[in-house]
Amino acid sequence: NKLGLTKDEIGTGEKSLLYSDYRDFTPPEWKTVEEEHWAFYRNWIAEIARFRGMTTGRVDSLARGRVWTGSQAEANGLIDTVGYFEHALKVACDLAGIGDRRRVALVHLPARMGIIQTIMSRAALEDVAAYALYRVFFDMKSPGEELFIRHELERPVR
């Protein structure tokens, strides 16, 4: 508002502004959103049932927002087996035809950055730019005042 920026929206069809952030849903729109939700849910449980060899009723009785542990999911037929990292690595190597797992290099992302990389990172540069814009628009004492860019680390270092 201080900068005089506004946002407009243009609808091109009956439901094109359904998810507008300017207003709440109308009762017919709520009905549409609810119908879309349940259509997605029914399709989701049908796909699970198809791939797990179950009925949709069985999948529905297990679903409905529940969270299962790995052991419970396995007991209920929702997963093939409980595996851990080493098991996943073995399966991936088998599928890729890699017989010698020592040929696989594990890369941890994001990689640790040195001090120069940190200073030159996109996040640091964005922080500097945001600070500069803040100073230009909200914090200058007089119209002729010079702008000096200063960056202070505001986030706690972990």
Most confident by average pLDDT, 4-13, 38-47, 87-96: 38-47
Sign of the CA dihedral running 97, 99, 100, 106 = positive
Of 2 and 61, more confident: 61
pLDDT score of 5 more than 70: yes
Region 107-118 average pLDDT: 78
Mean pLDDT over each residue of the chain, to the nearest integer: 83
What pLDDT is stored for residue 143 in this prediction? 55
Q: What angle do CA 14, 17, 21 make, to 5 degrees?
A: 160
pLDDT score, position 60: 95
Q: Is 47 left (phi over 0), alpha (psi -120 to 50) or beta?
A: alpha
Nearest residue to 104 (alpha-carbon basis) of 77, 131, 84, 86: 86
pLDDT in tens, 43-96: 999 999 999 999 999 999 998 888 999 999 999 999 999 988 888 888 889 999
Residue 147 confidence (pLDDT) above 60: no
Residue 156 has pLDDT above 70, yes or no: no
Query: What's the pLDDT at 47?
Result: 96
Confidence at residue 149, expressed as pLDDT on a 0 to 100 scale: 47
Q: What integer pLDDT is reported at residue 106 of this predicted model?
A: 81
**Chain centre to alpha carbon of residue 13:** 29
Q: Is the pLDDT of residue 151 over 80?
A: no
Read off the pLDDT of each residue in 1-13 and give the average, rounded to a whole number.
83
